[in-house]
Amino acid sequence: EPEVTQTPSHQVTQMGQEVILRCVPISNHLYFYWYRQILGQKVEFLVSFYNNEISEKSEIFDDQFSVERPDGSNFTLKIRSTKLEDSAMYFCASSAAESGEQYFGPGTRLTVT
Amino acid sequence: QQQVKQSPQSLIVQKGGISIINCAYENTAFDYFPWYQQFPGKGPALLIAIRPDVSEKKEGRFTISFNKSAKQFSLHIMDSQPGDSATYFCAASAGTYKYIFGTGTRLKVLA
């Protein structure tokens, strides 16, 4: 069964450093998303991406964040200068259609020290 | 208006019992309501979803009941098993890309 994969599973970084989280969406999907989940809290939408551009973003997704699809398979989330409050689980998701079912990856746990 | 309110926060059910989790929303533009199951350290896994043109959808032991006039929807897990112990999230979307998630319900099924 096709699945969304994410690397690394755990990333530890120092405050102010740049991090890149990587995702490989399901191969025939066209819509890609990033969500985050602070420990013990609900899952929050960050950004959606379609046709090589951002479709929608939340207020959390400020200038420190960027997304990219550098090739035909990867989808990345970059945080330019990490803050302590960026510590969370980051989930990538993909869907085949605009309002279709979203399938989530296993997540990357980001710890900012 | 963008919120989805979920209850209860936690739920303990005996094996074989029925688990019921409720969600309520305000935004009448929401038109897609999925439920996700999440085990510790894993990503949310899509369980079942419903659109507002039907009042109920059943898949195996999982049923969504949808009440459009009350703006509420619920997940029923029949014959609950210890393996169902997980956190369950309801979500909603309004024909757009983002899901608005509920706050989650931690379900524990006792053997």
Residue B41: its pLDDT value, please?
85
Residue B4: its pLDDT value, please?
95
Residue A99: its pLDDT value, please?
65
Model confidence at A91: pLDDT above 90:
yes
Q: In sequence order, which residues have a C-beta less than 8 Å from that of residue A22 and are 6 or more positions away?
A: A6, A7, A8, A74, A75, A76
Q: Does B102 touch chain A (CB under 8 A)?
A: yes
Tell me the pairing of strands B105-110 and B86-92: antiparallel
Mean pLDDT for chain A? 93
Distance from CA of B72 to the nearest CA of A (A): 19
Q: For B22-31, what is the mean pLDDT?
A: 94
Where residue B95 falls among pLDDT bands split at 50, 70, 90? confident
Residue A18: its pLDDT value, please?
98
Higher-confidence position of B24 and A98: B24
Q: Does A64 touch chain B (CB under 8 A)?
A: no
Where residue B24 falls among pLDDT bands split at 50, 70, 90? very high
Q: Which residues of B touch A43 (CB under 8 A)?
A: 36, 44, 89, 91, 99, 101
Residue A64: DSSP 8-state: T
Where residue B1 falls among pLDDT bands split at 50, 70, 90? low
Where residue B10 falls among pLDDT bands split at 50, 70, 90? very high
Model confidence at A85: pLDDT above 90:
yes
Q: For B37-58, what is the mean pLDDT?
A: 92
Of A69, A75, A67, A62, the C-alpha closest to A25 is A75
Q: For A16-57, how does the pLDDT look when each residue is reduced to its tens digit (9 = 90+)?
A: 999 999 999 999 899 999 999 998 888 999 999 999 999 999
Q: Which residues of B touch A103 (CB under 8 A)?
A: 46
Contact criterion met (CB < 8 Å) for A48 and B97: yes
Model confidence at B60: pLDDT above 80:
yes
Q: In sequence order, which residues have a C-beta less than 8 Å from that of residue A14 and are 6 or more positions away?
A: A82, A112, A113
